[in-house]
Structures are given as C-alpha cells and as structure tokens.
Amino acid sequence: DAMVIQNPRYQVTQFGKPVTLSCSQTLNHNVMYWYQQKSSQAPKLLFHYYDKDFNNEADTPDNFQSRRPNTSFCFLDIRSPGLGDAAMYLCATSRVAGLQETQYFGPGTRLLVL
Amino acid sequence: DAKTTQPPSMDCAEGRAANLPCNHSTISGNEYVYWYRQIHSQGPQYIIHGLKNNETNEMASLIITEDRKSSTLILPHATLRDTAVYYCIARSSGSARQLTFGSGTQLTVLP
C-alpha cells in the first residue's frame, strides 16, 4: 500500500545533542511537510518542500532544519534539542492539484529530550 | 480558510451509525470540506472530502447541505477503533500550505 513512513516511532535524545528524524513516502507526492504537535495542541507546520523548493514558516526556530535528498525522503534535523522540543513530529505529503490538496500523514515520531 | 464549528464531544454505541456534524456557515464557493481524525498518539488520518455533492468511500460518507453551510460525517457502523478526535476543515488550496486543525469532536464509541 502507498503510504507515509516515519522512523523511528519513538526517539530519545539528550539536551543539546543533535537528532535527525526521517520520513519516506511511496505516494510520489511533490510536497512533503513537517509538523510539530505538542500535547493537547493542534499540529503546527514547521516547513515544507514543494519539489526541491524549501519553504520555512516564519516562526520556525533556526534550531530546526530539513533536507530532502530526493522525492521519496525528507529529514528533520534538530541541531540542539531543548526540553521544549519534546513533541510528536508528523510528516505529511500531498500532491497539489487545482484547488484540492489532500495531505496524508505518517504515524509520527515522538521525541523525548532528557 | 472558513471557520468551522463542531461539538466538543459525542458518544456512539458500537455497531450504530455515528453522525458527526460540522458548521461552516462562511464557507466560500471554492473551499472544500475535509474530514480527518486523530487517534490518540497517532498521526492524523484523512477520511474524506467534498465540495458540493455527497461523497462516500470505504471509511465514511459525507453529506453536505445544499447551501453548503454545514455537513455531516457518517460512520455507518462504528467500532471501538473509531474512537478518536474528528476534525472538519474548510479549505481551498492551489498551493502547499498549513492544514489548520480546529478543536474537533472527541468521538467515543461505547461497547
């Protein structure tokens, strides 16, 4: 089945230690997103790639970076995780077509910062 | 995106139909109605979307009123695994941008 895959499902890191979360998709979608979701809050968009074009949200901290080496893979890098970065990180993909744009989410990676 | 209003919570007996309402009285002509759900500790799951006509897929049916000011998501035979927060989103997009989730409806399916 075509899908969005995130590994690992749970990631533990230490305060200040760089961490990378990964996302892959078999949907051949041209857009890949990274959202951050903290407990009891709605998902918040960090940035997205439209094909190779990177689009950062205005309030995304510099501590968060992303790479998309090819259509199928996208990575979220947190350079120096703080305790406040503990959250669920959600990857989503879509194909923009006219006025419709359905986003499909992966299962998420829950990040714990010690 | 047009504002949507949903009841904060609903219960449904297992095996019965779950009817989840959504009000979107300010929806514009080019905005679609999308439904997602989020089961605890999982990523949001796309359910269905529509513009004007009623839609049905393997998961659910979407009924949109003729004036498009409200809609109802129907899960025809709810199971315990359908317990989740359900989000109704009114949106048009010719480009990639944030999907804005409101507060949603917590549906609890009771045995």
Q: Is the pLDDT of residue A40 over 80?
A: yes
The answer to whether B35 contacts chain A (CB < 8 Å) is no
| CB spacing of A99 vs B93 below 8 angstroms | yes
Q: How far is A44 from chain B (nearest CA, A)?
A: 8
Task: State the pLDDT at residue B57.
Answer: 96
Predicted confidence at residue B99, as pLDDT, reads 87
The per-residue DSSP string of A9-74 comes to SEEEE-TT--EEEEEEESS--SEEEEEEE-TTS--EEEEEEETTEEEE-TT--TTEEEE-SSSSEE
* A96/B95 Cβ within 8 A: yes
| pLDDT, position A98 | 75
Task: Report d(CA B23, CA B68) in Å as an integer.
Answer: 9
CB contact under 8 A, A90 and B43: yes
pLDDT band at A2 (very low <50, low <70, confident <90, very high): low
For the segment A90-111, the average pLDDT, to the nearest whole number, is 90
Average pLDDT over chain A, rounded to whole?
A: 94
Residue A1 confidence (pLDDT) above 70: no
**Pairing state between β B55-56 and B61-64:** antiparallel
For chain B, 111 residues long, the average pLDDT of each consecutive 10-residue run is 93 97 93 94 94 94 96 97 96 79 94 95
Q: What is the mean pLDDT of residues A43-57?
A: 94
B106 inside 8 A of chain A by CB: no
* Minimum-distance CB partner of A45 among B91, B98, B102: B98
Measure the CA–CA gap between A73 and A91, rounded to whole angstroms.
10
Q: pLDDT for A76-86, tens place per residue?
A: 999 999 999 99
